Each structure stands twice: as C-alpha cells, then as structure tokens.
C-alpha cells in the first residue's frame, strides 16, 4: 500500500559526506596546435581535454577599433596598482571560460583593490580606447566573462569585503568581488541569509551574480535580484562613479537606474559595491527527494506543493533520470536515495516551526503517494542530510560538463510545455548526441536543456541551434532565463526581444559607453 511505502521511505544514511570540492578552478592547460577545420577544434570534450582554439579565430571575430596595449600602458597600471596586481603572464585561467568553450587572448589582467582604482583604470582605458572585460568568479556559462580578442581583464577578486550586515534591517553592504558563499556565511553569522544560492557559490562573486541577474535555486521563494538588490555602486566606462546605493526597499526618487546594471553582464558599467536585503535564515529546513513516473505527475506535484506547502515552499527543482545518472556515474561520492524513475524532484521547505513544517511536508508527500503521483522518495530535516541531497542537484551540471562536451541552454518555457523540448531534441539529435537531458528550476519555469556529445561537432550544433531558440520563441519563452546572453547567445537575442527593444538597448549602450570599451562582442551584435 502506498502509505506503507511512505512510512518506509528511506532516510538517508549518514554516509561519508560528499566532501569533494564543488567548484574547480580553471585548470592550467597547455596549448595545442590548431588542426583540422576551425569548428572541430573550437571546443573540447570534458575537462581533461586540450584547451580550445582562440575564439577570435574560430568565430571569425572582427576586432573592434580599439588601441593595442603597449609597455607604457602596463607601466601606467603598475604605478597605479602596484606590480603585484598587474599580471602579464600565466593568464590562461582568465582567458578561458568555465565551459572551456571560449578562449580570448588578453595580455593583461588588472586587480584593483577599491572603487577609486577601478575608476582610474576605466578613465585611462576610455581615453586610450582600450577594451576591458570585467571578470568575477569566471563561472558564467555564456562566455561573457572572458575576452574574445585581447581585451584587458578587470578582475574584481580583490574587492572582496563584506562591509556591513545589519541584523535589524537585514541590509548587507558588500563589495562586488566577494564570493557568494563567504557573503552568505557572514549573513548567517547574524541569523540572516543571502537570498541567492547556486551550485557555483564557492567561486562566483556577488558582483558577477548581480551582473548576470543570476537565478539559482530559491527564486521561487525570494524572487530575483531585481527585488533583493537595494542599490549598486557602478563605475562607468569613462571612470565616473555612479552611486546608486540605497538602504531602503522603497525609494521612488527618479528613474530606477540600478536595474540597468542588474543583468547587463558588464556591458554598461563595473559594479563595485551593492546593498542587498537579506531575509532571516530559516530555523527549520526540510528537503524531499522524490521519484515520479511522468512529467504529468511532476506538474501535479508542483501544483500540490504550491497549494499545500504554501508559504514554506522554498525550492522546487526537477532532474530527469539521464541528468541524475550522469552525475552519479561521474561522482561516486554522491548518494542517491532512490533510483529507477524517469523524473526526480527536490522540494525544499523553510520555515520557523520544525514540527509544523515536517507535518506539512509529510502530509504533502503522503497525499501525493496516495494519488499515485509520487512513487518513492526520502524526506529529511537533518542539516547534514539536507546538504547531501542538495549536493546531488548541485553536481548535475558539473557531471555533464566533466563527462563530455555539452551544449547548454537555460530557457524559460510555459510549464505545460516545459519538458517536451527535451524529447523533441532527443529525437532530432538521434545517435549524434550521447545524452539529451533536462533539469532545472521547475518552480520558476526555467529548464536547463543539455545536449552532450563526445566533442564539439558542427552537425549536431546545426541540429540544435537555432532550433532550440525558434522552439522557445514560438512558445513565447525566454532564450535566457538566468545565465544571460554573453558571447554565445548574442546572435539569438532577437528571438526574445523585438527590434525596437534591441535598438533601445543599443542606444543605452552608446549613452553609457560611447567608445564601446566595456565588454565588447557581448550581448549585442
């Protein structure tokens, strides 16, 4: 009987915890010579393979009309920042994107230590017409954070301080280069939490998160960063410091300019500081990991979660069996509590009363099982086990990236059509693809469609793109739900924005960066 199965739901064994480092730093790899057609060497399979060819060559990028860096420029920056903070060697980690798909050829990395230094760098670069790419943790997945040609990399790594966390107002002021996990830890020290959580938290910067308007796994609870970020300080392309810091949720004085910097991917300004509204961390967190037989059951379970868990629902994620199995094969330390289902959901509740929340989530699962929508699963409120379950979800993208070359999409789709594109794509790619899978933030209608193959291959690329964008556009979805446009999707922006909107974007770019030195070749064509 199904209720008996509920009672038998396995609690997670306290196994050797998943202690592997979640994020990998860009590996220092050796160059290899270009061979074959440009497309076939433009990307590589898996993380262990050789580095990609220069993107300027593979994608035939016409270098913008920028000045070329010279010795006097380097000497200027050394005087400004000190020689330790001006790098001219071993720059591969800054030139290659996380996916190892995009590779630039910057000869200079600058590491300013405060806003004034960022401003001085931008003023100089604007006068000299030197192009600049702002870089945070370099975990972006659309090639936005690395140079395409020889842009100077402006690394925000040293702007890493949490300046204040006010436990009364919940407002934190933080420099943009602070690693998300460190920021969250500081907030937790006073009973608060950063309302953003994502698998790259150990490496990504809060400034990178804001610049990409990163989503992550708790948007269903806290909304996106346009709501949580109260203010930003940004350095414009000409070196002016735009102070849009605010300590209030409500501030209707003039145009809401901070929003321009949230999600503009370093093309309009360099974020140096921001204030964020941090909610109280929840006393009771429960996580259920459940198996389901069909996507129809997934939708029913989501509706039931919203109806029955209501205010305590804090995350609702989907993982299909191929995505899960790839992660499990790649990372043996992961413990999946259940197996053998086509779909899995991770449902989290966060509240202030453990007994109440536990009762609610158990009831929700029991009812779902009785209706035959939920097949099996586990539920836990033990913090160590909660983390173990989250680790499974967090390792899914890394499993796919580690295993082979992966075309990655993050699209918003109407819920009823959420998963169908995975089946359609599997059919389209046939044996050319090794894995076609879907996972993501079901609670926000955000699907991560991934298509894997042994290595970049033009034939499969053409089967996938632009089809995936056409399909999404026909359903009035968004071609980028959270990762942004960067370099990889700039040719497809028109699938989600009409020409009037794109012209406006261009006008704004011209206004804020007339010389086009900030993150060129990204977002706009």
Tokens of 506: 């261009």
Question: Is the Cβ of residue 144 or residue 368 nearer to ligand FAD in the bound state?
Answer: 144
Question: Is the Cβ of residue 145 or residue 375 nearer to ligand FAD in the bound state?
Answer: 145
3 state SS of 386: helix
Q: Count the Cβ atoms, other than its own, within 10 Å of residue 21.
A: 8
Rounded CA gap, 406 and 289, in Å?
26
Where do the DSSP E strands lie in 44-151?
86-87, 109-110, 132-135
Which of these segments, 210-218, 282-290, 330-338, 509-517, binds ligand FAD (CB under 6 A)?
A: 210-218
Question: Is the Cβ of residue 110 or residue 425 nearer to ligand MLT in the bound state?
Answer: 425
- Buried/exposed 27-51: b ≥16 CB within 10 Å, e otherwise: eebeeeeeeeeeeebbbbbbbebeb
Residue 336, phi then psi, degrees to nearest 5: -85, 125
Among 147, 207, 231, 440, binds ligand MLT (CB under 6 A): 440
Question: Tokens 């708790």 appear where?
Answer: 218
**140 lines the binding site for ligand FAD (CB under 6 A):** yes
Q: Which does 513 bind (CB under 5 to 8 A by kind): ligand FAD, ligand MLT, none?
A: none
**463 lines the binding site for ligand FAD (CB under 6 A):** no
Q: Give least dist CB 502 to ligand MLT, A.
A: 25
Tokens of 200: 């790259």
Tokens of 515: 């010389």
**204 lines the binding site for ligand FAD (CB under 6 A):** yes
Residue 477, phi then psi, degrees to nearest 5: -85, -170
Q: Give yes or no for a contact between 170 and 192, defined as CB atoms under 8 angstroms apart.
A: yes
- Rounded to the nearest 5 degrees, what angle is found at the Cα of 334, between the Cα atoms of 405 and 192? 100
Q: Which does 448 bind (CB under 5 to 8 A by kind): ligand MLT, ligand FAD, none?
A: ligand MLT
Total H helices, total E strands in the chain: 18, 16
Residue 461, phi then psi, degrees to nearest 5: -55, -45
Question: Is the Cβ of residue 42 or residue 201 nearer to ligand MLT in the bound state?
Answer: 201
Among 136, 397, 399, 477, binds ligand MLT (CB under 6 A): 397
Question: Is the Cβ of residue 397 or residue 516 nearer to ligand MLT in the bound state?
Answer: 397
Q: Give least dist CB 513 to ligand FAD, A.
A: 12
Taking the alpha carbons of 180, 409, 105, 62 in that order, is the dihedral positive or negative? negative
232 forms beta bridges with 244, 274
Q: Give yes or no for a contact between 102 and 95, defined as CB atoms under 8 angstroms apart.
A: no
Q: Give least dist CB 109 to ligand FAD, A.
A: 12
Q: Give least dist CB 333 to ligand MLT, A.
A: 18
Q: Give least dist CB 91 to ligand MLT, A.
A: 25
Question: Is the Cβ of residue 156 or residue 174 nearer to ligand FAD in the bound state?
Answer: 156
**137 lines the binding site for ligand FAD (CB under 6 A):** yes
- Buried/exposed 338-369: b ≥16 CB within 10 Å, e otherwise: beebebbbbbbbbbeeeeebbebbbebbbebb
**175 lines the binding site for ligand MLT (CB under 6 A):** no
Rounded CA gap, 209 and 137, in Å?
9
**482 lines the binding site for ligand FAD (CB under 6 A):** yes
Question: Tokens 């007339």 appear where?
Answer: 514
Q: Give least dist CB 404 to ligand MLT, A.
A: 14
Question: Is the Cβ of residue 157 or residue 446 nearer to ligand MLT in the bound state?
Answer: 446
Question: Is the Cβ of residue 170 or residue 199 nearer to ligand MLT in the bound state?
Answer: 199
Q: Give least dist CB 6 to ligand FAD, A.
A: 30
Chain residues binding ligand FAD by CB under 6 A are 98, 133-141, 144-145, 156, 176, 198-200, 204-205, 207-209, 211-212, 214-216, 265-266, 270-271, 397-398, 482-483, 486, 519
Chain residues binding ligand MLT by CB under 6 A are 199, 397, 408, 410, 440, 448
């Amino acid at each position: 009987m199904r209720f008996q199965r509920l009672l038998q739901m396995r609690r997670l064994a306290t196994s050797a915890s998943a202690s592997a480092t979640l994020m990998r730093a860009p590996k220092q790899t050796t160059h290899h010579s270009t061979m074959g057609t440009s497309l076939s060497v433009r990307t590589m399979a898996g993380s262990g393979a050789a580095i990609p060819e220069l993107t300027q060559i593979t994608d035939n990028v016409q270098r913008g009309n920028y000045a070329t860096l010279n010795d006097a420029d380097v000497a200027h920056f050394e005087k400004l920042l000190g020689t330790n903070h001006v790098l001219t060697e071993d720059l591969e980690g800054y030139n290659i994107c996380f996916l190892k798909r995009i590779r630039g050829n910057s000869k200079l990395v600058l590491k300013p230590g405060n806003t004034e230094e960022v401003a001085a760098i931008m003023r100089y670069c604007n006068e000299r017409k030197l192009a600049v790419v702002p870089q945070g943790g370099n975990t972006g997945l659309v090639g936005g954070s690395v140079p395409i040609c020889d842009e100077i990399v402006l690394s925000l790594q040293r702007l890493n301080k949490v300046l204040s966390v006010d436990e009364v107002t919940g407002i934190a002021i933080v420099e943009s280069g602070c690693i998300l996990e460190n920021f969250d830890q500081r907030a937790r020290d006073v009973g608060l939490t950063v309302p953003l959580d994502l698998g790259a938290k150990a490496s990504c910067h809060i400034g990178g998160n804001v610049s990409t308007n990163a989503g992550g796994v708790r948007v269903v609870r806290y909304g996106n960063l346009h709501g949580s970020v109260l203010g930003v300080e940004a350095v414009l392309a000409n070196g002016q410091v735009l102070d849009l810091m605010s300590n209030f949720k409500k501030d209707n004085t003039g145009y809401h300019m901070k929003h321009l910097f949230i999600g503009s991917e370093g093309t309009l300004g360099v974020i140096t500081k921001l204030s964020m509204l941090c909610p109280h961390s929840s006393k009771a967190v429960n996580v259920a990991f459940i198996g389901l037989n069909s996507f129809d059951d997934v939708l029913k379970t989501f509706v039931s979660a919203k109806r029955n868990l209501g205010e305590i629902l804090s995350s609702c994620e989907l993982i299909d069996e191929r995505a899960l199995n790839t992660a499990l094969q790649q990372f043996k330390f992961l413990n999946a509590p259940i197996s053998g289902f086509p779909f899995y959901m991770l449902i989290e509740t966060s509240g202030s009363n453990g007994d109440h929340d536990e009762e609610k989530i158990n009831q929700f699962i029991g009812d779902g099982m009785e209706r035959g929508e939920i097949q099996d699963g586990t539920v836990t409120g033990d913090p160590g086990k909660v983390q173990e379950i989250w680790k499974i979800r967090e390792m899914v993208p890394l499993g796919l990236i580690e295993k082979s070359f992966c075309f990655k999409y993050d699209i918003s789709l109407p819920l009823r059509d959420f998963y169908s594109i995975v089946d359609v794509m599997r059919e389209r790619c046939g044996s050319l693809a090794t894995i076609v899978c879907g996972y993501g933030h079901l609670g926000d209608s955000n699907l991560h469609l991934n298509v894997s193959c042994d290595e970049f291959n033009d034939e499969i690329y053409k089967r996938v793109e632009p089809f995936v964008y056409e399909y999404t556009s026909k359903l009035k979805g968004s071609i980028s739900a959270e990762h942004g446009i960067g370099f990889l999707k700039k040719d497809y922006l028109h699938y989600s924005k009409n020409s009037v909107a794109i012209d406006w974007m261009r006008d704004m770019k011209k206004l804020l960066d007339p010389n086009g030195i900030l993150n060129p070749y990204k977002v706009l064509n």
